[in-house]
Structure 1
Amino acid sequence: MTPSPQDPPKTAQTPRTQGTELPETDPPATGLPETHRLTAPDGRRIAYCSYGDPAAPPVIVLHGTPGSRYEGLALRQAATDAGLRLVFPDRPGYGGTDPVPGRGFHRWNDDFVALLDHLGHERATLVAISGGGGYALSAAQHHPGRVTRLILACAAVPGAPRSAYARRIPLVKWLNRIVVRAPLIARPMLAGKGIFKKTRREPNLDAWPRSDRLIMSTPAFRTLSELDTAEGQRQGVDAAITDLAGYSRPLPEPLGSVSVPTLFLHGDADGNVPVEVARWAHAQIPGAELRTVPDGGHLFLLADPEPLLRELT
């Protein structure tokens, strides 16, 4: 999924171990956006990248699982052309953001508030991609006054019934079950180690929808995917395992308690998070809208970001 970064307001630098200090921004590597950092009220470090027009109001976008702030690279040019500013934070335990104890999706709620305060905005549109869905829903439930609009793009939803996943790709279905029942086995699968290494690097694309196969077979996608996954797993795979296991349970509060304007934007051929998940969740939230992307797979934003850009502009 990434233009010109903007200088964030100055905040106190976050101390690292052994007395060294973490700079508020990292100089960008060749082709990479600048990484900004802020210190949360609890002293944790939060990393994020900004893509698009630095003068535009921020749109907060949550990356998938596993993933990182670099997921925004795929939307960089589109955001610039549309005059949007997309802010992609690393979620807790991913990339450069410190983990938060516990297992619930509420773990990101305070980061959301800290990020908005750091950016100098009271409210923002909140977008969730894939595995970011549970975190965005929880933030909208607990801080509705700070969410202008909630957009769930090919997003997973905690507690969706098993029937909604009937069309899920078998390999993805198998991995999610192993994460819940045998996380020690899932760990090397997610890390791409040992006997799972070849499988991870050379996935069988036959089961994926045609639109996703076309994207996944390109060198550009493979380069982005390797970069994004490597950064997302810089602290290990614990965050990804917690994420995937969390979707087997509903949120503590019912989905019906979401009171902000909500849109589900979903590819109707998605084989990772089938569109039936979005249809089920859409029916739970009063006033929510559902728009499907014909023949769109799980990666429909990579094929054509226009459906999302239309909603943001």
Structure 2
Amino acid sequence: MKKAPTAAVAFTLSVAAVAGAVGFTAGASSAEADKRPKPVVQDEFDPLGPAMHQMENAGRTVHYSDTGDNGRTYGDPVVFMGGTGTTARASGMTEFLRTTREDLGQRIVSIERNGFGDTEFDAGLDFDDYTSDVEAVLDELGIRRASVVAISGGGPYAAHFAEAAPQRISSLHLAAAAPPYGEKPSYCGKSDAELKEYFGEQIRDPRSWWGFDDDSPMHRIPGFTDTAEEDGGRSYYLQGQKGDPSAQVHEQKLYCERPGPDMSRLKAPAYVYTGLKDTTVTPEAQARWSKALPKKPVVREYDDSGHDVQYRHWDQILLDLAGYADRTPVCTGGKTRVLKEAAAERALDRGATAGSCAWRGEDSAK
């Protein structure tokens, strides 16, 4: 009777079997391997999202993310101010175009706001404190001036930063951004108890809070909705908040403050990106930015977007950040091209679509 093979022998036999299954023969695997392309293993790790850091400012711990890590070229700094209830990692939701961002030389820094994610909640903090945190982080990183991108509920913070430190802004980009001007939001007349009940119910389910309509182009980005939902969980649960709505209510009440900040000293160019289907921050509300800004902004309106315009047209925002405001990305003939305005309009009239061909997926070649 033959003995059963030992574990070592069994392992050897299984490897040989696998080798045979993939086209190698015993005693010839090295020769067969030599015929295949030389394998390459990368020298650096790929990022799993923007790295988090922390520093002290005014007696509190400030948390921020920064894509300028691991010895890579830092590039032109961009301060990213995410929507309400997001963390400093929310800037990673734009990394579906990371290759383009890096090719254009953009470095994104995001400073976390009061009570979300890693950051402890302090009911005594306001817009001025956030401005102080942003300036402290920029000083820590040796950044004198930066572009600012504000999304949705980041809009009021950007406006206050522009009032307090206009000399530090090289360009201002407002994407589906809520303006702290005009009529107050309808909820401003509600009591703290009512607001806690309302927002508490909303944020306890990050999937609902961060949900996108079924027809949203965000569903075309692999893993995007999962990443958005995960940031919602990070916002309200990371440090054991257990869905406590206190920080959310505090931020929403800050949005009620009027009059809005005076941005008259801002000399930097400004851009407003509006999705014409936006029902969260309506086009009518976003039009108030033009009246509040000291110089007429570049206004980009898109009829293919709602409150997701900041992601759907992130490719255009990246071009604007890099100084290519006279160029438009379009998908034509299955290839993404960056064209000057007149050429882009002609291409769109002939059936091209705005932005990267990635938005068209399998249909891009048609």
Quickly name the TM-score band, shorter chain normalised: 0.7 to 0.9
Map residues 219-258 of structure 1 onto 2, 5 A cutoff: 220-233=223-236, 234=238, 235=241, 236-251=244-259, 253-256=261-264, 258=266
Map residues 1-313 of structure 1 onto 2, 5 A cutoff: 31-40=48-57, 42-51=58-67, 54-83=73-102, 84-102=106-124, 104-161=126-183, 182-192=194-204, 197=205, 200=208, 205=213, 210=215, 212=216, 214-215=217-218, 220-233=223-236, 234=238, 235=241, 236-251=244-259, 253-256=261-264, 258-289=266-297, 290-313=299-322
Q: Deviations over 1:5-34 (max 9, x none)?
A: xxxxxxxxxxxxxxxxxxxxxxx9993442
Relative to structure 1, the CA distance from residue 180 to residue 219 in structure 2 (aligned partners, 3 Å threshold; closer, same or farther) is farther
Q: Deviations over 1:134-167 (max 9, x none)?
A: 11110110111211122111111123326xx8xx
- Please give the alpha-carbon distance, in whole angstroms, between the structure 2 residues aligned to 1:198 and 1:71: 14
Relative to structure 1, the CA distance from residue 87 to residue 307 in structure 2 (aligned partners, 3 Å threshold; closer, same or farther) is same
Relative to structure 1, the CA distance from residue 31 to residue 198 in structure 2 (aligned partners, 3 Å threshold; closer, same or farther) is closer
Aligned to 1:16: none
CA RMSD, 1 decimal: 3.2
Amino acid at match of 2:101: A
Q: Given that residues 60 and 86 in structure 1 are in contact (C-alpha distance below 8 angstroms), is that contact kept between their aligned partners in structure 2?
A: yes
Q: Given that residues 202 and 209 in structure 2 are in contact (C-alpha distance below 8 angstroms), is that contact kept between their aligned partners in structure 1?
A: no
Relative to structure 1, the CA distance from residue 251 to residue 37 in structure 2 (aligned partners, 3 Å threshold; closer, same or farther) is farther
Q: Given that residues 179 and 244 in structure 1 are in contact (C-alpha distance below 8 angstroms), is that contact kept between their aligned partners in structure 2?
A: no
Relative to structure 1, the CA distance from residue 43 to residue 203 in structure 2 (aligned partners, 3 Å threshold; closer, same or farther) is closer
Q: CA deviation at 1:257?
A: 5.6
Q: CA deviation at 1:183?
A: 1.6
Q: Deviations over 1:50-101 (max 9, x none)?
A: 2376421211101111111221222224244232111122112211234444
User: How many equivalent residue pairs?
Assistant: 266
Q: Given that residues 275 and 305 in structure 2 are in contact (C-alpha distance below 8 angstroms), is that contact kept between their aligned partners in structure 1?
A: yes
- Please give the alpha-carbon distance, in whole angstroms, between the structure 2 residues aligned to 1:240 and 1:153: 21
Q: CA deviation at 1:282?
A: 1.2
Q: Given that residues 210 and 229 in structure 2 are in contact (C-alpha distance below 8 angstroms), is that contact kept between their aligned partners in structure 1?
A: no
Higher RCO, 1 or 2 (CA under 8 Å, sep at least 6)? 1
- Please give the alpha-carbon distance, in whole angstroms, between the structure 1 residues aligned to 2:118 and 2:46: 15
Task: Report % sequence identity.
Answer: 24
- Please give the alpha-carbon distance, in whole angstroms, between the structure 1 residues aligned to 2:101 and 2:86: 24
Q: Given that residues 115 and 247 in structure 2 are in contact (C-alpha distance below 8 angstroms), is that contact kept between their aligned partners in structure 1?
A: yes
- Please give the alpha-carbon distance, in whole angstroms, between the structure 2 residues aligned to 1:37 and 1:198: 25
Q: Given that residues 86 and 231 in structure 2 are in contact (C-alpha distance below 8 angstroms), is that contact kept between their aligned partners in structure 1?
A: yes
Which protein shows a greater Rg? 2
TM-score by length of 2: 0.63
Structure 1 unpaired stretches of 5+: 1-27, 166-172
Describe the SS at the equivalent of 1:59.
Answer: strand
Q: Given that residues 50 and 88 in structure 1 are in contact (C-alpha distance below 8 angstroms), is that contact kept between their aligned partners in structure 2?
A: yes
Q: Given that residues 79 and 147 in structure 2 are in contact (C-alpha distance below 8 angstroms), is that contact kept between their aligned partners in structure 1?
A: yes
Aligned to 2:359: none
Q: CA deviation at 1:293?
A: 2.5
TM-score by length of 1: 0.73
Relative to structure 1, the CA distance from residue 179 to residue 223 in structure 2 (aligned partners, 3 Å threshold; closer, same or farther) is farther
Relative to structure 1, the CA distance from residue 285 to residue 114 in structure 2 (aligned partners, 3 Å threshold; closer, same or farther) is same
